[in-house]
């Protein structure tokens, strides 16, 4: 069967590429979201001891690690969220951009009630049955737009078990529990 032979050759070729085409050194730059270099950021091969520190231009060179087809690197600097990227044989030079921690309040934060009062049992049932279905179909395309259409409480998304545990906890009953 020539078809099978062709397929096996394709698989062997793909495996050879992945086995032989490896990244042994990653170079790059760590910058802020505004494009400024980050000095002194720690860059490492994810979950290993192989690390480098960026210079004043935000540049780093990482090597000495066991080479692989894909190398996931992470970057960390004081005041920023950890960010990362994957270096590939065709992308050995990478740029990681860092987002600073939020230090102020979020002005668009809105209060989420534990439980929305005044809904009928049928409304509750409909809302709580449709959210998991929407999440199953697509979190971004279905769940988020649907959930934005209702006033939702913690109980609507987090289900009876989790909400039951939470609402009977000392935390939730902080204002009515005389022991606290």
Place of tokens 């409304």: 123
Of the candidates 56, 57, 52, 55, the one whose C-alpha atom is nearest the C-alpha of residue 87 is 52
Rounded CA-CA distance 23/68 in Å is 5
Distances (CA, A) of 19 to 8, 26, 140, 176: 16, 18, 36, 63
Rounded CA-CA distance 57/44 in Å is 17
Which of 142/157 has CB closer to ligand HEC? Answer: 157
Which of 56/110 has CB closer to ligand HEC? Answer: 110
Q: Taking the chain, what is the end-to-end CA distance rounded to the nearest angstrom? A: 77
Of the candidates 131, 152, 155, 127, the one whose C-alpha atom is nearest the C-alpha of residue 142 is 131
Rounded CA-CA distance 38/29 in Å is 8
Q: Does 86 bind ligand HEC (CB under 6 A)?
A: no
Rounded CA-CA distance 5/27 in Å is 40
Segment contacting ligand HEC by CB under 6 A, of 3-11, 19-27, 46-54, 150-158 = 150-158
Segment contacting ligand HEC by CB under 6 A, of 56-64, 102-110, 116-124, 153-161 = 153-161
Q: Does 134 bind ligand HEC (CB under 6 A)?
A: no
Report the nearest approach of ligand HEC to the CB of residue 170 (Å).
Answer: 15
Q: Does 119 bind ligand HEC (CB under 6 A)?
A: no
Q: Does 156 bind ligand HEC (CB under 6 A)?
A: yes
Q: Please pick, from the candidates 112, 126, 129, 137, the single residue that binds ligand HEC as defined by CB under 6 A.
A: 112
Q: Does 146 bind ligand HEC (CB under 6 A)?
A: no
Q: Does 152 bind ligand HEC (CB under 6 A)?
A: yes
Report the nearest approach of ligand HEC to the CB of residue 78 (Å).
Answer: 25
The contact set with ligand HEC (CB under 6 A) reads 112, 114, 147, 152, 154, 156-158
């Amino acid at each position: 069967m020539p078809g099978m032979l062709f397929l096996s050759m394709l698989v062997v070729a793909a495996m050879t590429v992945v086995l032989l085409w490896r990244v042994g050194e990653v170079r790059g730059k760590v910058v802020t979201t505004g494009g400024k270099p980050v000095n002194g950021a720690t860059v490492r091969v994810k979950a290993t001891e192989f690390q480098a520190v960026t210079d004043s231009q935000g540049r780093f060179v990482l090597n000495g690690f066991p080479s692989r087809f894909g190398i996931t690197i992470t970057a960390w600097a004081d005041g920023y969220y950890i960010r990362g990227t994957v270096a590939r044989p065709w992308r050995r030079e990478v740029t990681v951009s860092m987002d600073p921690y939020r230090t102020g309040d979020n002005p668009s934060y809105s209060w989420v009630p534990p439980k929305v009062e005044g809904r009928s049992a049928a409304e509750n049932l409909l809302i709580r049955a449709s959210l998991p279905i929407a999440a199953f179909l697509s979190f971004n395309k279905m769940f988020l737009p649907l959930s934005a259409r209702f006033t939702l409480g913690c109980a609507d998304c987090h289900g009876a078990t989790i909400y039951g545990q939470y609402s009977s906890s000392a935390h939730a009953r902080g204002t009515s529990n005389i022991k606290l």
